């Protein structure tokens, strides 16, 4: 079975990842793609109050399960549009370990900080300052196959740019280069 392709959108909260993902599902015309968002996995969790340590452990397990769910969906031939926030180094390392690197088109979704703050306030469904706290962290690894600035281009334009990159992805992929650099055996 041929594995599915993975379009991995990484950016801060409110950067436009979900809007781009919705547009990608409209413009991609070669195969079946599913939008898998880490926020969707978080929303499936029970709402019982958890202490800080228990919550941290539950969120870590949730993200690890999310990464493996993406790998499983792609592994059986589905295309996947991943919507994620790699704000902690271990998240990227886990993705590098479980996702097939040459099947991943790694997309950096950027947005100016002042626009992120404006969007976050307009949404009202995120803790104030979340995007600002993530801003210097999510792109710290410094390497992508394609990058989009949602402060300069709308979701449809970004989706079309990604579709173009998907047709002729760079080799080796950003995930392959990052894997060689960050995993001990370069698996």
Task: Give the three-class secondary structure for 124.
Answer: coil
Angle subtended at Cα 20 by Cα 15 and Cα 22, rounded to the nearest 5 degrees: 130
146 phi and psi, to 5 degrees? -155, 150
For residue 168, give the 3-state DSSP assignment: coil
Q: Which residue has the tokens 């195969």?
A: 31
Active site residues: 39
Burial (0-12, 13-18, 19+ Cβ within 10 Å), 86? buried
Six token digits for residue 90: 């271990």
β-partners of residue 148 are: 109
Instruction: Determine the Cα–Cα distance for residues 126 and 116; give it in Å rounded to an integer.
Output: 11
């Amino acid at each position: 079975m041929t594995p599915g392709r993975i379009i991995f959108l990484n950016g801060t909260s409110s950067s436009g990842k979900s809007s781009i993902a919705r547009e990608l599902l409209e413009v991609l015309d070669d195969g079946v793609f599913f939008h898998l968002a880490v926020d969707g996995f978080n929303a499936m969790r029970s709402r019982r109050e958890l202490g800080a340590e228990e919550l941290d452990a539950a969120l870590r397990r949730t993200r690890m399960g999310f990464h493996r769910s993406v790998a499983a969906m792609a592994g059986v031939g589905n295309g996947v549009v991943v919507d994620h926030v790699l704000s902690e180094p271990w998240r990227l390392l886990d993705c590098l370990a479980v996702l097939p690197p040459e099947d991943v088109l790694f997309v950096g979704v950027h947005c100016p900080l002042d626009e992120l703050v404006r969007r976050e306030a307009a949404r009202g469904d995120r803790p104030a300052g979340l995007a600002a706290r993530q801003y210097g962290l999510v792109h710290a690894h410094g390497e992508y196959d394609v990058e989009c600035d949602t402060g300069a281009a709308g979701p449809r334009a970004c989706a079309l740019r990604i579709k173009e990159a998907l047709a002729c992805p760079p080799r080796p992929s950003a995930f392959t280069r990052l894997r060689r650099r960050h995993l001990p055996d370069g698996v």
